[in-house]
Amino acid sequence: MTAITSDFVAAPVLPKWVVPVLLLAFAYGVVPLIGSSYVFEAILLPFLALSLAGVGLNILTGYAGQVSLGSAAFMAAGAFAAYNFNLRVEGLPLIGSIFLAGIVAAAIGIVFGLPSLRLKGFYLAVSTLAAQFFVQWALTKFSWFSNNSASGVIDAPRLSISGLALDGAVGRYLFALTIVTVLTFLAYRLVSSQTGRNFIAIRDNETAARIIGIPVLRTKLLAFAISSFIIGVAGVIWAFAYLRTVEPDGFDLDRSFQILFIIIIGGLASIRGAFFGAALILVFPLALSRLGGFLLGDLFDSGVLDMSQRIVLGALIILFLILEPDGLVALWDRVRRRLLFAWQST
């Protein structure tokens, strides 16, 4: 009981919106001025894309409790759909292509979400693998999707919004940042709405949810649709803003796992968690390679780096699952509360 009461004593003093607004002001106003092209290309763009994918998966897995291993498939569906809409529909603005790509990903999400009506947990996770393998296979098999490119590779179109070209690293960063901001805000609104509470109700107790009249089947499919929409748009950012050239193999099972790890490490059922997790997953290999190079010199080549990354990342995930199942977000909140408490009591 004492622990719970102390939570209330050290409640945050700032209103909820202050931190996000400050962060956004920094991201829009300061980062474009100080960031180098390396920072945008290698860190911020993949960070934004993976964070958004994490937000999407968190809606499905963290909030609605439906485990999915098909995230990369929905990213691929979004990326290739946007490419094709952009290529084949004359006069469709880029934003329109992206929105329709999200809708396509959502439709595929609903189809592969149908097993969730009967399956739970591991069984459902395995059935979402079907999405992973099917989408990747279809995109490779039918060259129409990549406009008959021999290798299945697609090249991103020029990014522009109402005539404003966004081709440089900064432009693509602002483009990605804007989409991520809007969708994250909407996702935040969603999880605090009645629909979001229905997601949590189904996750926490499906029978009770059904008894009190929550439309369980419809709500589960809605979770799949919304989640896939967001992940699909994240795929577009990944392909159009970050890599610029993608092939179906880039959206393999490893990517799905990466997104799952992001939300586990960052914190399930937390919008912020996706950003925390994505930051860790991206910064961690860079830090490791710097550290390894510094300590071991030439011995630490790319093979060793790759292997040590996997080992350390695996260990990290195990540690998180055991020590902090609520993820980095819970860790961060606890540290912040301690600091605030220390600051208040001085």
Residue 204 within binding range of other proteins, rule CB under 8 A: yes
Q: Which of residues 255-314 bind other proteins (CB under 8 A)?
A: 269
Which stretch in 13-21, 151-159, 196-204, 316-324 sits in contact with other proteins by CB under 8 A?
196-204
Among 193, 245, 291, 344, binds other proteins (CB under 8 A): 193
Contact partners, residue 99, CB within 8 Å, separation at least 6: none
What is the C-alpha separation between 149 and 153, in angstroms, rounded? 6
**Nearest distance from residue 77's CB to other proteins, in Å?**
21
What distances in angstroms separate CA 308 from CA 39, 295, 316, one per listed residue? Answer: 23, 14, 12
Under the criterion CB under 8 A, does residue 120 sit at the interface with other proteins? Answer: no
**Residue in 111, 114, 119, 200 binding other proteins, rule: CB under 8 A:** 200
For the record, the structure tokens of 15 come out as 């209103």
Integer Cα distance of 175 and 324 in angstroms: 34
Q: Which stretch binds other proteins (CB under 8 A): 90-98, 158-166, 191-199, 289-297?
A: 191-199
**Which 226-255 residues touch other proteins, going by CB under 8 A?**
226
**Residues recorded for the chain:** 346
Rounded to the nearest whole angstrom, what is the least distance from the CB of residue 93 to other proteins in the complex? Answer: 21
Question: Which of 326, 70, 18, 56 is closest to 184 using CA atoms?
Answer: 56
Give the closest residue to 62 by CA, choosing from 207, 190, 252.
190
Q: Does 194 bind other proteins (CB under 8 A)?
A: yes
Q: Which of 30, 212, 312, 315 binds other proteins (CB under 8 A)?
A: 212
Around Cβ 315, how many Cβ atoms within 10 Å? 10
Q: What per-residue string of b and e applies to 166-180 under the rule 16 or more CB within 10 Å gives b?
A: beebbbbbbbbbebb
Q: Does 6 bind other proteins (CB under 8 A)?
A: no
Q: Where are the alpha helices (DSSP H) in 192-301?
A: 194-204, 206-211, 216-236, 253-266, 271-296
- When the beta carbons of 207 and 345 are compared against other proteins, the nearer one is 207
Nearer to other proteins, 215 or 314 (CB): 215
Task: Confirm or reject binding of residue 209 to other proteins (CB under 8 A).
Answer: yes
State in angstroms the smallest separation of the CB of 289 from other proteins. 38
Greatest C-alpha distance within the chain: 68
Number of residues that bind other proteins (CB under 8 A): 27
Tell whether residue 214 is a contact of other proteins (CB under 8 A): yes
User: Which chain residues interact with other proteins by CB under 8 A?
Assistant: 4, 186, 189-190, 193-195, 197-198, 200-201, 203-205, 207-216, 222, 226, 269
